[in-house]
Amino acid sequence: MALIDPIQTHIDQAVEPDAPAAAPTARNQHILDPGFDLTLRPMRYPQFFDMYKDSIKNTWTVDEIDFSDDLVDLDRKLMPAEKHMVSRLVAFFATGDSIVANNLVLNLYKHINSPEARMFLSRQLYEEALHVQFYLTLLDNYIPDMKEREAAFAAVENIPSIKAKAEFCFKWMDSVDELDAITTRDERRRFVMNLICFATCIEGLFFFAAFAYVYFLRSKGLLNGLADGTNWVFRDESCHMNFALEVVNTVRAEEPELFDDQMEADIRAMLRDAVDCEYLFAADVLADGVPGMSLGDTREYLQYVADTRLHLLGYNSEFGSKNPFSFMELQDVQGLSNFFERTVSSYQTGISGEVGFDEDF
pLDDT at 34: 84
334 Cβ contact partners less than 8 Å away, ≥ 6 residues apart: 218, 227, 231, 345, 346, 347, 348
Angle separating helix axes 160-173 and 80-103, nearest 10 degrees:
20
Res 179: pLDDT: 80
Q: How confident is the model at residue 153 (pLDDT cuts 50, 70, 90)?
A: confident
Q: What residue ranges define each of the domains in the chain, with the CATH number in brackets?
A: 79-333 (1.10.620.20)
Catalytic residue, candidates 45, 52, 126, 135:
135
The reported pTM is 0.82
**C-alpha to C-alpha distance for 282 and 149, rounded to whole angstroms:** 21
Determine the 3-state secondary structure of 134 from DSSP. Answer: helix
How far apart are the C-alpha atoms of 323 and 47, rounded to whole Å?
A: 31
Q: Is 135 a catalytic residue?
A: yes
Report which DSSP code applies to 76: I
Q: What's the pLDDT tens digit per position in 110-126?
A: 899 999 999 999 999 99
Q: Name the more confident of 216 and 103.
A: 216
Distance CA 193, CA 175 (A): 9
